[in-house]
Structure 1
Amino acid sequence: MAGARPAAHAAPGWRRNLVFIWIGVFVGLMGANFVFPFIPFFIQDLGVTDESRVAFYTGITASATGLSLTLTAPLWGSLADRFGRKPMFLRALVGAGLLIGIMGIAQAVWQLIILRFLMGAFAGTMGAAAALVAATTPKEQVGRALGTLQTGQFAANMLGPVLGGIVASSLGIRESFIFCAALYGIAAILVFFFVSETPVAGSEPGPAARRSEGSLLENLRVVIGERQVVLVLLFLFVLWLSTTFVRPVMPLSIDKFAAAAPGEGRVHLELPGAAWDLRKEAATGIVFAVIGLTSTIAALSVAPLGERFGYRNTVVAAALITGLLYPLVALAQGLTAFLLLFGAVGLFQGAMVPGTNALIAAGTPDGKQGSAFGLAASMQSMALLLGPLGGGFTSGVGGIGAVYIVIGVILVLAALAAAMLVREPEVFAGRRRAPARA
C-alpha cells in the first residue's frame, strides 16, 4: 500500500546522478558495441578459417555471455539491495572493461569463449544502472528518468558499431579491444566521482539498515511475491524476445531484396527526392541505424505519454501496434518499404522497454530495486538466448516471413494479457489525477 510520496525536490541530486549514470551507460554500452559486431573477424584472427566454424564459434561466444548473465544477474541485484547499487554499477563497468581488455590479448578461441562467459557473469551494465536510478529518483519521476536512461542504450547501439568500425580499421581489431576497455575505465571514473547513492527521503532505509535487511534469497522472494512485478517481468521478457527473435533474419530479408534486384547484388532504396543503389551490408547498417534513431525518440516520449495516459496503457498500446506492424514487414517487397516499416517498429518498440521498467520500479517494494532489476536483466538475457533460436527454427520451418508473423502474434497476445492482468501503479495513477485536484 503506497503512502505519501516525497516531492521531486526531496532528492536534489537525482538529476545530476541521472546525467552521469547516463554517461556511464552510453560509454559502457558503446564500448561493447565497438568490438562485438566484429567478433567473427577476431575469431578468424585467432586461426579459424572455415566459414561454418566461424559462425559456430560466434554463436557460442554470444550464448556464453547470455547464459552467465541470466544466471548471475539476480544475485548481483540482490547484493545491490544489501550493499548499495552504486558499487554494483561500478562492478559492472570495471568487470566488463577488464575482461574486454584481456580479450584483446587472447590467443585461442577457447580463451575467448571463457572470457565472454566471465564477462556475462561480471557485467550487466544496464540492469545495474536502472536499479541505481530507480533507487535514487523520486517515484513520481522514475518513468521520466528511466526513459531518459534508455536513450543511452539506444544511442550506444546506434553509434557503437560505426565508431568501432572506424577504430578497428584504423588501429586493428586487437587494439580496438584495448580502446574499448579504456572507455569503460573512463565511465567508471566518472560514476565513482560524480554519482552519489542517496535514497529518496522516506522511500527506503539508510545504507546501514539496508545491509542487515534480509538475505539474498529473502530479497528475491519479496520481489517474486509481488504479483504485479512478476507479471510485468514476464511481459518484459516477451518485449525483449520480439527484438532478438527477428534480428538474425533481418539481414537475410535484405539479402533477398539484393538477390532479386538487377546488378551486382545491390539493393535499391528510394525516398522522396532521392534514390540509392546500396550494397547489402550498407543497407543493413542503415536499417539498424534507423531503428536506433526512432527507438531513441520513443524512449524520450514515454514519460509524457505515461503521465497523460498511464504507463500501463502506453506500454500495452506500443506492444499492440508493434505486433500489428510485424506481419506487414513480412509483406515488404523492397528495401524502401522494409526500412519505413522497421522505422515505425522502432518508434513503438522503443517505448516498450523503458515504460515497462518504469512499471517495475513503481511496483517494487522500497529497498528491493536491485533484486527487481537483476531479475529484469535475467529476462533480457534469457530473451537473448532463446530469441535467435526461436527465430532460426521458425525461419527453417516456415521461411523468413513466418518469423515476422509469429512474433507479431506473440506481441498482440502479450499486449492483450497485460491489458487484462497488469494494473497502473498507484504512484503514477495519483500523478495523473493531481492536475484535476489543483
Structure 2
Amino acid sequence: MAAKPAGANALAFIFITVLINMIGFGVVMPVMPQLIMDVTGEDLSHAARWGGRLTLVYAVMQFFMSPVMGALSDRFGRRPVVLGSLAAYSVDFLLMALAPTIGFLLLARILAGALAATFSTANAFIADISPPEKRAANFGLMGAAFGLGFIIGPALGGIIGDALGPRAPFFAVAGLGFCNLVYGFLFLPESLKPENRRAFEWRRANALGNFLHFRQYPALLPIAGAIFLYQVGHWTFPSVWAYYAEARFDWSPRDIGFSLMAVGLAAAIVQGGLARLVIPAIGERAAALFGLAVAVVIYAAYGLVNEGWMVYVLIPIGALAGFTLPALQGIMSRTLPADSQGELQGALGSIMGVSMIVGPYLMTQVFAAFNEPGEPFEIAGITILPQGAPVRLPGASFLLASLLALAAILPLLGAFGNIRRPRAGTATQKAAPERAPAAGE
C-alpha cells in the first residue's frame, strides 16, 4: 500500500500512534512485579533486581540499534521504520504473556530492544513537519501522549491484573499493539521529503559516530550530558515505583495503577497544555532549568514520604519537571539542518538507551539493597556495601535521582552560551552563530 503524503493531520496521526504505544507500556507496569515473582518464585526485593536486569538487556540492544534505525529512517523514510517497530512491540508482549521462565522474559526484551524505534522516529517525524519555532511545543505534545498513555494504561493494567492475574495485561497489550500496527499501516503518512533523505552510512549509524559528527555544534554534547543525568534519575519512577509503593505503602496493583494514572493526568496537562504556553513565553533555556529545579525537590520528597496520600500532593508539582526534555530537544533540533533530524533523534535515542542501561538497573539494585538492608549491595558483580545497606530506606533510589537532577543543571550553564544554528545547506556545513538570546531564555 502506498504511503499517503503528510498533510495537515500528520501530527495527529503520530500523536495517536505514540499514545497507543504508551497505553500498552502503562498497562503492564502495575503487574510486572507479580509476573517476575511468578516466574522466579522469589520475593519482592529479588523481583526488583530481576526487573532491573530485564530493562538492562532491553536498553543494551536499544543503545546499539537506535542510531541504526534513525539512520534508516533518514534513508528510507519514517513510515517503514515505525511499522517494523510496532510489529516487534506486539510480538514482545505476547512472548512475555506466555513466558514460563525468566529466561523467556529476557529473550522477549532482547527482541523488543533491537527493534525499538517508535519514539525516536516519531520525534524525527515531528521535526520533519514542524517549523523550527514550533518544534519544542510539538515535542511537548508527544510528552502529552506519554501522559495520556499513563492515564489509561496503568489504571487498566491494575484493574485487569487484580481481576484476571498478572499475565492478562500482557495479552491485552499484545492485542493493542497489533491494532496499533494496523492503524499505522492504514493511516500513518510519510513525512520525510525525498530531497531531505541521505545515504545510509555505517560510520554514522552508531552512537559514537553520531556524537563525533555533531562535534561542530559545541552546545550539543553538554546538553546531551544534562539529558543523560536527568534521564538516569527519571527512570527511577517507571522502574522502581511499583516495587516501592508495595514495600512502603502496601499497595495492590490496582492502587499502583491509579497512582500512575494520576501521574499521567498531571503530565498530560503540563506537557500537552502548559508546556506549549510556558516554553515559548519564558524561553527554552529558562524552561529547562526550571524543570530540573522542580525535579531536584520532588524526587527528594518522593523518597521521604511515609503516607500514601502524600504522593497525590506531590504528583501535580512534580509534573512541572516535564518542561525539561521538550525544551532541551527544541534547542538541539534548532541547531541542526533538516537532513540531520533523524540522526539527531537517533543520537537522543542512544542517550535514552544508555540512561536505560544505567538508570533502571542502578535504581532497582539500590531499592533492593535498602529494602533488605541485611543483604550485600552488588552492581554488575562489584560489591558496593559488603554488609548490605546500613538502614532500611525504600526511597533511597528517589534520593539518588534528586542528586542526579541537581548535577544535570551544571553542564547546561556553560552550554547555553555556545549554541550555534546551521546555515542553509547540508549537515556537513558549519553552523552560523545563534542570535543573542532574548531575556528569559
TM-score bracket relative to the smaller structure: 0.7 to 0.9
| Aligned residues of 2:299 and 2:398 also touching (Cα < 8 A) | yes
| Aligned residues of 1:307 and 1:431 also touching (Cα < 8 A) | no
- Tell me the TM-score normalised to structure 2 length: 0.77
Could you tell me how far apart the structure 2 residues matched to 1:230 and 1:97 are?
34
Deviation at 1:117, TM superposition (A): 0.9
Question: Could you say which residue in structure 1 is the equivalent of 2:187?
Answer: 194
| Aligned residues of 1:27 and 1:183 also touching (Cα < 8 A) | yes
Deviation at 1:306, TM superposition (A): 1.9
Question: Could you say which residue in structure 1 is the equivalent of 2:352?
Answer: 380
Could you tell me how far apart the structure 1 residues matched to 2:248 and 2:97 are?
36
Compared with structure 1, are the counterparts of its residues 225 and 171 closer, same or farther at alpha carbon in structure 2 (3 Å cutoff)? Answer: farther
Aligned counterpart for 1:82 among listed residues 71, 75, 79: 75
Question: Could you say which residue in structure 2 is the equivalent of 1:237?
Answer: 228
Could you tell me how far apart the structure 1 residues matched to 2:228 and 2:407 are?
13
Compared with structure 1, are the counterparts of its residues 217 and 53 closer, same or farther at alpha carbon in structure 2 (3 Å cutoff)? Answer: same
For 1:126-166, what per-residue CA distance to the aligned partner results, in whole angstroms no more than 9, with x for missing partners?
12211111122222221221111111112212321222344
Question: Could you say which residue in structure 1 is the equivalent of 2:219?
Answer: 228
Deviation at 1:344, TM superposition (A): 0.9
| Aligned residues of 1:27 and 1:156 also touching (Cα < 8 A) | yes
Q: Secondary structure at the match of 1:217?
A: coil
Deviation at 1:122, TM superposition (A): 0.9
Could you tell me how far apart the structure 2 residues matched to 1:329 and 1:171 are?
30
Q: Secondary structure at the match of 1:312?
A: helix
Aligned counterpart for 1:217 among listed residues 201, 204, 212: 204
Alignment of 1:318-329 (within 5 A): 318-329=291-302
Question: Could you say which residue in structure 2 is the equivalent of 1:33?
Answer: 26
Whether 2:283 is the aligned partner of 1:296: answer no
For 1:183-234, what per-residue CA distance to the aligned partner results, in whole angstroms no more than 9, with x for missing partners?
22222232233332234xxxxxx43672437555277243354332222222
Letter in 1 for 2:405: L
Could you tell me how far apart the structure 2 residues matched to 1:175 and 1:400 are?
28
Question: Could you say which residue in structure 1 is the equivalent of 2:401?
Answer: 407
Question: Could you say which residue in structure 2 is the equivalent of 1:315?
Answer: 288
Deviation at 1:329, TM superposition (A): 4.4
- Identity value in percent: 21
Deviation at 1:370, TM superposition (A): 1.8
Could you tell me how far apart the structure 1 residues matched to 2:159 and 2:90 are?
20
Whether 2:412 is the aligned partner of 1:418: answer yes
For 1:15-49, what per-residue CA distance to the aligned partner results, in whole angstroms no more than 9, with x for missing partners?
41111111111112212333354344444555x32
| Aligned residues of 1:147 and 1:354 also touching (Cα < 8 A) | yes
| Aligned residues of 2:59 and 2:357 also touching (Cα < 8 A) | yes
Alignment of 1:147-158 (within 5 A): 147-158=140-151
Letter in 2 for 1:217: R
Letter in 1 for 2:42: D
Which has the higher mean CA deviation after the structures are superposed, 238-247 or 348-357?
A: 238-247
Aligned counterpart for 2:178 among listed residues 182, 185, 189: 185
Compared with structure 1, are the counterparts of its residues 240 and 397 closer, same or farther at alpha carbon in structure 2 (3 Å cutoff)? Answer: farther
More helix by share: 1
- Tell me the TM-score normalised to structure 1 length: 0.77
Question: Could you say which residue in structure 2 is the equivalent of 1:275?
Answer: none
4+ runs deviating over 6 angstroms: 429-433
Could you tell me how far apart the structure 2 residues matched to 1:54 and 1:307 are?
43
Question: Could you say which residue in structure 1 is the equivalent of 2:41?
Answer: 49
Deviation at 1:77, TM superposition (A): 1.2
For 1:77-129, what per-residue CA distance to the aligned partner results, in whole angstroms no more than 9, with x for missing partners?
12221221222111211121123234434444322211211111112321221
Question: Could you say which residue in structure 2 is the equivalent of 1:363?
Answer: 335
* Matched positions, count: 394
Letter in 1 for 2:170: F
Q: Secondary structure at the match of 1:367?
A: helix
| Aligned residues of 1:231 and 1:422 also touching (Cα < 8 A) | no
Deviation at 1:314, TM superposition (A): 0.7
Could you tell me how far apart the structure 1 residues matched to 2:94 and 2:194 are?
33
Aligned counterpart for 1:111 among listed residues 92, 104, 108: 104
Could you tell me how far apart the structure 1 residues matched to 2:244 and 2:201 are?
51
Instruction: Please list every run of 5 or more consecutive structure 2 residues that lacks an aligned counterpart in the other structure.
Output: 371-388, 423-433
Could you tell me how far apart the structure 2 residues matched to 1:256 and 1:185 are?
34
Could you tell me how far apart the structure 2 residues matched to 1:213 and 1:43 are?
40
Could you tell me how far apart the structure 2 residues matched to 1:331 and 1:169 are?
28
Q: Secondary structure at the match of 1:50?
A: coil
**CA RMSD of superposed structures (Å):** 3.4
Whether 2:36 is the aligned partner of 1:65: answer no
Could you tell me how far apart the structure 2 residues matched to 1:413 and 1:289 are?
29
Could you tell me how far apart the structure 1 residues matched to 2:346 and 2:61 are?
13
Letter in 1 for 2:20: V
Aligned counterpart for 2:139 among listed residues 130, 146, 151: 146
Which has the higher mean CA deviation after the structures are superposed, 391-400 or 121-130?
A: 391-400
Instruction: Please list every run of 5 or more consecutive structure 1 residues that lacks an aligned counterpart in the other structure.
Output: 1-11, 200-205, 259-264, 266-278, 434-438
Compared with structure 1, are the counterparts of its residues 227 and 16 closer, same or farther at alpha carbon in structure 2 (3 Å cutoff)? Answer: same
Could you tell me how far apart the structure 1 residues matched to 2:242 and 2:117 are?
27
Q: Secondary structure at the match of 2:190?
A: coil
Which has the higher mean CA deviation after the structures are superposed, 403-412 or 301-310?
A: 403-412
Letter in 2 for 1:385: I
Letter in 1 for 2:335: G
Could you tell me how far apart the structure 1 residues matched to 2:420 and 2:287 are?
13
Q: Secondary structure at the match of 1:110?
A: helix
Whether 2:194 is the aligned partner of 1:207: answer yes
